[in-house]
Amino acid sequence: MTRAPGELIKRLLVSDETAYVELVNTYGEKLLHLAYMVVGDRQLAEDVVQESFLALYAKLQNFRGESSLSTWLTRITLNKAKNKIRPKLFQKIAYFWEINATDTAPLPQDNYEKQEKQSIVREIMLSLPIKYRDVLYLHYFEELKIKEIAEILDVSQSGVKTRLQRGRNQMKDLLKERGLD
Amino acid sequence: MSNRGIKDDLNLDENIKDLFQKNMTDIKLDNFFKEKLIAMKNDVKPVSPVRAFLEKEICIPVASVSAAAGVMIIVAGFLINSLLLPGEIPQPKYQIIEMMQISEAQLNVKD
C-alpha cells in the first residue's frame, strides 16, 4: 500500500519501525543509483547513501516539509556524492604515491563481452561533465520534471533546460565517437 | 524540424535512457545493506535545540563554531597572560650599585 510522503514523515517522527523499512525500500535503491551515477564506484556510492540516511535521521525532527522528502533526499545525496569526487589535497598526495595494482588474470570469455560493454557504458557516463550528467540522469532515468530538477539542483528552470540541451549534444557526440548512435 | 530530425532526436532520447539503464543494471540494494540503513537510526544522537537553531536559522555549521570558539579561547588566553601576569621587571643597575655601596658603607662604619 502506498501512503502519502507527509504521512511517512509523521510515522518516522514517532519512531515507527515499519516507516523506516518503507523509507529504505522506497528511496534506498534510487539514491544508490544516483550516487553511483556521480561517483562511478559501488563502495563509494554506498558510503554516500549511508551518509545521506544518517543526515536524514539526524535532522528528521527539524524537517519542515518545505520540499518533498524525495527532493530533499535527492539533493542531499547529490551534494554528498559531488563532495566525494571533489579532489582534496590529501587525495592528490595519495594519488601521487598510488601503486596501480591491476588484476592481470584472464577473464572468462562469457563474462568478457559483458564487462567490455559495461566498461564502455561507464566510460561514456563518466566522461560527461557532472553538471550535465546529473541533469540527464534526473530527466531520463528518474523521469523528473524540469521544475523538480530545478528545485533539487537549486537552479532556474531555464538553467536546467540549457544544461539538458548541452548535455544531450555532448552525449550525442560521445555516442557518435563510439559508434553507438 | 524535419521528420528525420525528429526521429534522430527520439533515437537519441532512447539511447540516453538505455545507457543509464545499462549503467545501473548491476547496482541493486541488497538485504544486508537495507538492514544496515535501517539500523543506522539507532546510532544517531538527537540534535540539541541550540545546534538546530544555529544550523537551520542562521546557517552556521556547528563544527565551524566550535573551531572558532577554540581559536578565540587560545587568543584570549595569550592576551590575559600578557595583561595579568607580567614577567619580572628588570631592576635598574644603578639601584643595585647604590645598595651595594650602602651596605659597604655600613660595614665600614661597623669596622
- Asked if residue B68 has pLDDT above 70, the reply is yes
Closest-CA residue to A153 (of A28, A67, A57): A67
Q: Using CA atoms in the order A110, A115, A116, A117, what is the torsion angle rounded to 10 degrees?
A: 100
> Which chain A residues are within 8 Å of B28, Cβ to Cβ?
29
Q: Kindly determine whether residue B12 and residue A172, on different chains, have CB atoms separated by under 8 Å.
A: yes
Q: Kindly determine whether residue B34 and residue A28, on different chains, have CB atoms separated by under 8 Å.
A: yes
The sign of the CA dihedral A61, B30, A151, A80 is positive
Closest-CA residue to A3 (of A18, A15, A17): A18
The Cα–Cα gap between A147 and B20 comes to 21
The Cα–Cα gap between B34 and B75 comes to 48
Least confident of A80-84, A111-115, A151-155: A111-115
> Which chain A residues are within 8 Å of B22, Cβ to Cβ?
117-118, 121
Residue A88 pLDDT grade (very low, low, confident, very high; cuts 50, 70, 90) = low
Going by CATH, does the domain composed of A1-88 fall within 1.10.1740.10? yes
Shortest distance between the Cα of A140 and any Cα of chain B, in A, equals 5
By percentage, how much of chain A surpasses pLDDT 90?
41
Q: Kindly determine whether residue A37 and residue B24, on different chains, have CB atoms separated by under 8 Å.
A: yes
Residue of B nearest to A126 (CA): B23
Residue A101 pLDDT grade (very low, low, confident, very high; cuts 50, 70, 90) = very low
- Distances from the Cα of A65 to the Cα of A35, A176, B7, angstroms: 23, 44, 41
Q: Kindly determine whether residue A50 and residue B40, on different chains, have CB atoms separated by under 8 Å.
A: yes
Residue B107 pLDDT grade (very low, low, confident, very high; cuts 50, 70, 90) = confident
Residue of A126 and A48 predicted with greater confidence:
A48
Burial of A33 (0-12, 13-18, 19+ CB in 10 A): buried
- Asked if residue B37 has pLDDT above 50, the reply is yes
Going by CATH, does the domain composed of A112-181 fall within 3.40.50.720? no
What are the boundaries of each domain within chain A?
1-88, 112-181
Chosen from A14, A29, A133, A168 to mutate, greatest number of chain B CBs within 10 A: A29
Mark residue A154 as left, alpha or beta (left: phi above 0; alpha: psi -120 to 50; beta: remaining).
left
- Asked if residue A1 has pLDDT above 70, the reply is no
Shortest distance between the Cα of A131 and any Cα of chain B, in A, equals 16
> What is the average pLDDT value for chain A, to the nearest integer?
82
Residue A158 pLDDT grade (very low, low, confident, very high; cuts 50, 70, 90) = very high
Among A50, A58, A121, the residue with its CB nearest the CB of B19 is: A121
Q: Is the ipTM of this complex over 0.90?
A: no
Among B16, B29, B52, the residue with its CB nearest the CB of A136 is: B16
- Give the best-scoring range by mean pLDDT among B21-25, B69-73, B81-85: B69-73
> Which chain A residues are within 8 Å of B41, Cβ to Cβ?
15, 20, 57
Q: Kindly determine whether residue A57 and residue B11, on different chains, have CB atoms separated by under 8 Å.
A: no
Using one digit for the tens of pLDDT, what is the confidence trace for A29-45? 999 999 999 998 899 99
| pLDDT for the residue B86 | 59
Residue of A100 and B67 predicted with greater confidence:
B67
- Distances from the Cα of B7 to the Cα of A15, A91, A171, B4, B55, angstroms: 51, 45, 16, 5, 50
Same fold, A1-88 and A112-181: no
Residue A100 pLDDT grade (very low, low, confident, very high; cuts 50, 70, 90) = very low
Q: Is B56 on the interface with A (CB under 8 A)?
A: yes
- Asked if residue A166 has pLDDT above 70, the reply is yes
Q: Kindly determine whether residue A28 and residue B37, on different chains, have CB atoms separated by under 8 Å.
A: yes
| pLDDT for the residue B66 | 73
Chosen from B41, B50, B59 to mutate, greatest number of chain A CBs within 10 A: B41
Closest-CA residue to A43 (of A34, A32, A54, A53): A32
Count of Cβ atoms closer than 10 Å to residue A52 Cβ: 27
Number of A/B CB contacts below 8 angstroms equals 90
Q: Are B46 and A57 in contact (CB under 8 A)?
A: no
